[in-house]
Structure 1
Amino acid sequence: MTPAITPSISAHAAIDLGASSGRVMLGILSDGGLDLSEMHRFTNEPFLDGDQLHWDINRLFSESMVGLKKAVAECSAAGTTLSSIGIDSWGVDFALVDGGGSILAPIRHHRGAVNPATLINARGLSEASVYELSGVPDQAINTSFQLAKLATEMEFTGERPLFIPDLWVYLLTGNIGTEATIASTSQLMDPSTDDWSRPLVAANGLTGLNFPPISRPGSFAGETSDTITDRIGSVDPIAVYRVASHDTASAFAFAEPTVSAAGHASGGVQGLISSGTWSLVAVAVSEPVKTATARIGHFTNERGASGTLLLRNLNGMWVLQECIRDWERTDGGPVLIQPLLAAAAAAEGSALVFDTADERLLPPGRMIERVQALCREAGRVAPVTRGEVVRAILDSLAAAYAGAFRAAEAVTGSSVTSIRIVGGGSQNALLCQLTADATGLPLLAGPTEASSIGNIAVQAVAAGKRDTVSEIYSSLHGAGTQTKSYLPRGDSLPRRMSPKESHEY
């Protein structure tokens, strides 16, 4: 019998890369729980090269090193050492590493993805067959389509595709590999085996690539190289783990699967929302759900830290962020969010709901015009004032969340009885209240830094500092760990559905 782990002080750094910003968080784990503090935060601003959008990977990695150096110094000042590092990020995007170990740049941004119709026709597999193999519906942003498009531009000669967390691990340690949660975003992994699907690799014309081995969440990836160890000011090399590398999987690391593929969890299930640039709306299931109902409902099966996340990808705070950038260009200076939210709270809602899933909302620029056009197309009055535009966005997001949970109930046969929202959107009190109103369900908001907490929790369990992830969530302290409860208001319209959820399953 394995003896119980005795809690002791350990320090773990999470590099948490979001589509709009990144941060390095330090977690000090002791008998008193996990104390989280921010070491460094930085913007993530893609750049346009011709007509193609790219990630500024060199700057993002340099900023990550700034954060790790601060974490090492903070640990030293506290009389301890940094025990380990983990990386999580958005999904689908990748780098290619050639046979000589060089990274082929630049690295493309998924918001520049092209319409995949031609690629789908060339694939030779039906959408139903692809869903049965991958559990992922066709979306323009999928890694499969991005790589298939790249295959029309270059000949693959054994290059190794690495997702963003894998690239960071490679730069930190020199070791190549990937991990199941991030690989599951690709539409190339079989979620039943956590391995690459050979039929899908072949159908997309990707046999010339050398796909890296897929590890389980919490796998040891290696130690920092001498160069990196010196760069961040550490005396000794630091362990690096492949955590739940997809930021959504890290954000929901606390979620235990309660629904089987056959459905029907007794007592209902908790609905999960990770609200950032994207909104990921999910329920935790024990195994992939690859039914026609799930496919038609646009549900993705992505690997979680434990089990599977049956989720729907929705536009998130991106639409609001882009509107704010439009207003800043008009004003010639910063536009603060709080006055906008106050004006939105005073504006009339519900009448301005539009379809947040519309693909015209994906590219940057001129977002206000697109929001107004979508409202008109939906037969609504187009918002005019800034408060009305913000209210339209938040009401539409809340309606989309409610519709997604309704669809999840139909897919799983289980009732969603409460909502948990994490990530940056959990700080938006108006969005949280509107979501509680739209679903007619109690909602718990927070923690804000859910991805960093999950990242650190997986590291700590992998390093043998705790037995389970749930132990760590029982006592959280510090930046981004707070929670707040919301109840649906009596005059709300419960269970309101989004425009696309009017059909029956």
Structure 2
Amino acid sequence: FAMVQANDPALSIARTFLTMPDLFNFFLTGVKFNEFSNATTTQCFNPVTKNWALELLAALGIPTQIFGQIVPPASVLGNLRPSIAAELGLAEISVVASAGHDTASAVAAVPASTDDYIYLSSGTWSLIGVELAEPLINVESLAANMTNEGGVGGKIRFLKNIVGLWMVQECRRQWASQGTKYSYVDLTQMAAAAPAFGPLVDPGNNRFLAPEDMVVAIQTYCQETGQIVPTEKGAILRCSLESLALEYRWVAEQIDHLTGKKHPVIHIIGGGAQNKLLNQFAANATGRTVIAGPVEATAIGNILVQAIAMGEIASLAEGREIVCNSFEVETYEPQEVSTWGEAYQRYTRLKEM
């Protein structure tokens, strides 16, 4: 739409709309398709009809003819271009449209055998949600800022994108710029050694999106909300991690309410699953069992989808069983639930300010 407003000539001469995964598939095969999971994140997609929102696009002046056929993950697009195969010395190889969206691939690798769980893709950002058969769109889901994105097997990833380890990463960057470098192991140990249940922050507050100095942003928030201002590095880190765990509870309870279903388990996948302290905090704060791993969920999910496409495995359920049997996971049970409950009451008051 910004291109329409700017009268960008590229839009008028465009013939085909391809997202980045689709573009690479085109380079490899010479065929043009739009893969489902990534198409759903373009804001050009109607999650109810599961097709392009052509009427809306036309009303906005966006040429609708550039939007092509949408194919589901695990679609065999064709063979590798002969010129590429010859250059690499390869035989005829099929090219598969995997789940092009990284979180969709990651969720495919959740090592679950039931559907009563919440997934949490943990990294710089945390994507927390559930898989549904159909999109959940109503006034409450809009108010909660939930989204309906495509998954594998026609599933809808009903989720919320929240701040993850961004605050910790930015504190680390700030201290490095001042001449002190810490590993992530160092940071976790510093947080673990700091006093529990000090000041809290709302990670979703806009001030934490791109501050010049994350440390100062955290301290300023605490001062403005009448809390003790953390000065020690460990206290700042613990504030960040405890607050993030409490945000997990906030969103998990929203998901339970919106779906009308309790989810007793949280599967934490992705790089953030390596943070054992945050995993335990998540279990404590939410009062739910946390299962952490695998770390490389996106790559694993991508492989599973390709295996389904090639008939090597029959279903996503079978693929998840393979993940269960192939990768180590760690289980965290809730501890100090009543104390964390008191902290959550403080946290909810901050959210309401």
TM interval, short-chain normalised: 0.7 to 0.9
CA contact (8 A) 1:301 1:308 kept: yes
Q: Which runs of 5+ in 1 are unaligned?
A: 1-147, 259-266
Match status 1:253 vs 2:101: no
- The correspondence for 1:438, drawn from 266, 285, 293, is 285
Quote the residue 1:161 is aligned against.
17
Task: Provide, for residues 278-309 of structure 1, a one-character-per-residue CA deviation record: whole Å limited to 9, x for no partner.
Answer: 21110121111111111111111111113211
CA contact (8 A) 2:110 2:297 kept: no
Sort the Cα spacing of 1:312 and 1:378 in 2 relative to 1 into closer, same or farther, 3 A.
Answer: farther
User: Aligned to 2:340, what secondary structure does the other structure show?
Assistant: coil
Match status 1:152 vs 2:8: no
Sort the Cα spacing of 1:376 and 1:426 in 2 relative to 1 into closer, same or farther, 3 A.
Answer: same
How far did residue 412 of structure 1 move?
1.1
How far did residue 345 of structure 1 move?
0.7
CA contact (8 A) 1:355 1:500 kept: no
Quote the residue 1:242 is aligned against.
97
Sort the Cα spacing of 1:476 and 1:312 in 2 relative to 1 into closer, same or farther, 3 A.
Answer: closer
Which one is further off, 426-435 or 390-399?
390-399
Match status 1:463 vs 2:327: no
| Seq. identity, % | 32
Superposed, which structure 2 residues align to 1:11-26 within 5 Å? none
- The correspondence for 2:51, drawn from 195, 206, 210, is 195
Task: Provide, for residues 377-427 of structure 1, a one-character-per-residue CA deviation record: whole Å limited to 9, x for no partner.
Answer: 443333322222221221121111110011111111111211111001111
Match status 1:186 vs 2:42: yes
CA contact (8 A) 1:253 1:469 kept: yes
* Distance in structure 1 (CA, Å) of the matches to 2:238 and 2:309: 43
* Distance in structure 1 (CA, Å) of the matches to 2:83 and 2:224: 56
Task: Provide, for residues 85-118 of structure 1, a one-character-per-residue CA deviation record: whole Å limited to 9, x for no partner.
Answer: xxxxxxxxxxxxxxxxxxxxxxxxxxxxxxxxxx
Quote the residue 1:68 is aligned against.
none
Q: How many residues align?
A: 345
CA contact (8 A) 2:172 2:182 kept: yes
- The correspondence for 2:228, drawn from 371, 377, 381, is 381
* Distance in structure 2 (CA, Å) of the matches to 1:197 and 1:172: 28
- The correspondence for 2:79, drawn from 223, 233, 239, is 223
Quote the residue 2:206 is aligned against.
359
Superposed, which structure 2 residues align to 1:12-161 within 5 Å? 148-153=1-6, 154-155=8-9, 156-159=11-14, 160-161=16-17
Match status 1:450 vs 2:297: yes
User: Aligned to 1:271, what secondary structure does the other structure show?
Assistant: strand
Which one is further off, 458-467 or 193-202?
193-202
* Distance in structure 1 (CA, Å) of the matches to 2:132 and 2:112: 5
User: Aligned to 1:357, what secondary structure does the other structure show?
Assistant: coil
Quote the residue 1:70 is aligned against.
none
Quote the residue 1:263 is aligned against.
none
User: Aligned to 1:444, what secondary structure does the other structure show?
Assistant: strand
* Distance in structure 2 (CA, Å) of the matches to 1:234 and 1:278: 40
Superposed, which structure 2 residues align to 1:329-408 within 5 Å? 329-331=177-179, 334-363=181-210, 365-408=212-255
* Distance in structure 2 (CA, Å) of the matches to 1:354 and 1:346: 19
User: Aligned to 2:108, what secondary structure does the other structure show?
Assistant: coil
Equivalent AA in structure 1 for residue 331 of structure 2: S
* Distance in structure 1 (CA, Å) of the matches to 2:249 and 2:59: 36
Task: Provide, for residues 35-69 of structure 1, a one-character-per-residue CA deviation record: whole Å limited to 9, x for no partner.
Answer: xxxxxxxxxxxxxxxxxxxxxxxxxxxxxxxxxxx
CA contact (8 A) 1:319 1:367 kept: yes
- The correspondence for 2:275, drawn from 428, 432, 442, is 428
User: Aligned to 2:245, what secondary structure does the other structure show?
Assistant: helix
Q: Which runs of 5+ in 2 are unaligned?
A: none
* Distance in structure 1 (CA, Å) of the matches to 2:146 and 2:331: 27
* Distance in structure 2 (CA, Å) of the matches to 1:399 and 1:353: 9
How far did residue 229 of structure 1 move?
3.4
How far did residue 256 of structure 1 move?
11
Sort the Cα spacing of 1:368 and 1:490 in 2 relative to 1 into closer, same or farther, 3 A.
Answer: closer
* Distance in structure 2 (CA, Å) of the matches to 1:180 and 1:322: 33
By relative contact order (CA 8 Å, sep 6+), the higher-ranking structure is 2
Match status 1:277 vs 2:124: yes
- The correspondence for 1:482, drawn from 328, 341, 351, is 328
User: Aligned to 1:162, what secondary structure does the other structure show?
Assistant: coil
* Distance in structure 1 (CA, Å) of the matches to 2:288 and 2:158: 20
User: Aligned to 2:12, what secondary structure does the other structure show?
Assistant: coil
TM-score (norm 2): 0.88
- The correspondence for 2:150, drawn from 299, 303, 306, is 303
User: Aligned to 1:309, what secondary structure does the other structure show?
Assistant: strand
Equivalent AA in structure 1 for residue 49 of structure 2: T
Equivalent AA in structure 2 for residue 240 of structure 1: V
How far did residue 462 of structure 1 move?
0.7
* Distance in structure 1 (CA, Å) of the matches to 2:178 and 2:325: 37
Match status 1:177 vs 2:177: no
Sort the Cα spacing of 1:181 and 1:456 in 2 relative to 1 into closer, same or farther, 3 A.
Answer: same
* Distance in structure 2 (CA, Å) of the matches to 1:384 and 1:469: 48
Sort the Cα spacing of 1:241 and 1:494 in 2 relative to 1 into closer, same or farther, 3 A.
Answer: farther
